Amino acid sequence: MKQNASNTPGELHVLLQILTKHGSSVEPKPLYCALSLPGRNMIKPKPVIAWFRQDLRLSDNPALSAAIGMGAPVLPVFVLDDDSAGEWSAGAASRWWLHESLASLDTSLDGNLQLFRGRADLIIPELVEKTGASGVTFNRCYEPWRVNRDRELMNRLRDRNTFVGCHNGSLLFDPQSITTRGGTPYRVFTPYYRKGCLEGAPPPRKPLEPTPVRRFSDAAGGLPLADLELMPTRRWYDGMARAWSPGEQGATLRLREFLDNGIAGYADGRNVPAQAFVSRLSPHLHFGEISPNQAWYAAADCVQGGALRDDLDVFRSELGWREFSHYTLYHYPELPHGNLQRRFDRFPWITDRKALRRWQDGQTGIPIVDAGMRELWQTGYMHNRVRMIAASFLVKNLMQHWHHGANWFWDTLVDADLANNSAGWQWVAGSGADAAPYFRIFNPVTQGNRFDPDGEYVRRFVPEIATLPDKYVHCPWDAPANVLADSGVVLGETYPTPIVDLKASRLRALAAYREMPG
């Protein structure tokens, strides 16, 4: 029987070179198997499973490129694995985003994305068995539950002599490759980023050229998107839908908008919540609709000839902070639960459910904190400067455990990321790697006056006090009675009185930090 031209020894030799180039560790089985049909024998190509995870894009996707390079039909697969994720299954806002992003990816794949729900370590081998797939390719993830599951899955597939291609498609620098001279993980950002990454590691790989998927497998059996039950039952997500465009196309447009209008002045402007200097790429990066490599090099391309070098350096260092969070989670998998500085295990946190609820609802009586919490609820996002202010207020002024804040952000942020969320909250609390010193307590009035001097951000999200003069918009409790009356503000009725006294609560927190054992 005459072989298909793509099954020649020369082509298979090239294929093996491609697989080696992409980091494959197991030789693939033959790509074709004979099927017996009435009256004739035919050759049916064996598919390669491209397992999408937090890389919901076609461009610069190493795992997808490797699958395409194998020359066989590609079976694109996504598995919603809440069973393995357990408590870290996606929150409500993230699930809305995931629904929209999967719909976008399916459109890009001409309706060929196969969706499944359940334990991926069981579903993927079942698909291999069902379809006769010659291999599985995927990009690495670094959450502890995914690391453990993927290790078991790879062993299971390799025991079946199934080719496994595992790639880095989500980070600039692989966490396993960056260590101190002593071979230990870095715990401070600046030496990690400057010495470990920029000086001690190869430059981030350049984005891969897009490779179209020319052949899809005809294997079926996936679920309709609606059966993943990602969409909330109540339409509270309308504000998020107006604010965001999930998917690879939306990510590309968002990056272009930032480079055209945001990166000039980014170094200072990124701290001003009312202005459009921040990239707002975080949810697109989390879901892998765009790679950090694309952002890293696209930013450099628009900063030619030395102009805006400071802005580029600061933007890249923010990508570096994302890397450091994933690096820390990889080396310290207890990060989401346990204090990296164990003396914080004995910190005298206060349990006050009413205070926590007022913080969640944006009803603390502290304008910039309330503005941030309301922005979060309405849009699924909060400006990074305001995140630090709101978080500091919760853990230091209210002395609530950082777990409460991390859990709320996990459920309400569209960019909820286990590494960034856990590391960020531990940084503010002072308990993490490279944490803020205990005496750093953000004064929300000072921060508001500095970064929102005309109150534009506060007025946008706290309209009850929008008519107050700039002098009092961040501290309405200081406004004279006639000013409050002229502005139609009645503290305790139209807008809450402060939940705590800022000065007294700061002193209380400082005393608790100083007296902490160890």
Task: Cite the active site residues.
Answer: 318, 321, 349, 384, 402, 425
- CA 468 to the chain's CA centroid: 37
Q: What is the DSSP letter of 146?
A: H
User: Can you read off the two tokens belonging to residue 238?
Assistant: 């309308």
Q: Please report, for residues 362, 401, 447, the alpha-carbon distance to residue 370 in angstroms, rounded to integers and kept in the order given.
A: 4, 19, 14
User: Can you read off the two tokens belonging to residue 300?
Assistant: 């450099």
Q: Please report, for residues 76, 325, 327, 394, the alpha-carbon distance to residue 428 in angstroms, rounded to integers and kept in the order given.
A: 40, 13, 18, 10
Give 147-201 as a DSSP string: HHHHHHHHHHHHHTT-EEEEE--S-SS-GGG---TTSPPP-SHHIIIIIIIIITS
User: Can you read off the two tokens belonging to residue 5?
Assistant: 């031209």
Q: What is the DSSP letter of 8?
A: S
Rounded Cα distance between 476 and 497, Å, is 9
From the list 158, 150, 182, the residue with the least C-alpha distance to 330 is 150
Rounded Cα distance between 394 and 429, Å, is 9
Rounded Cα distance between 514 and 276, Å, is 39
Q: Which residues contact 479 (CB under 8 A, 6 or more apart)?
A: 468, 469, 471, 472, 487, 489
CB 266 within 8 A of CB 450: no
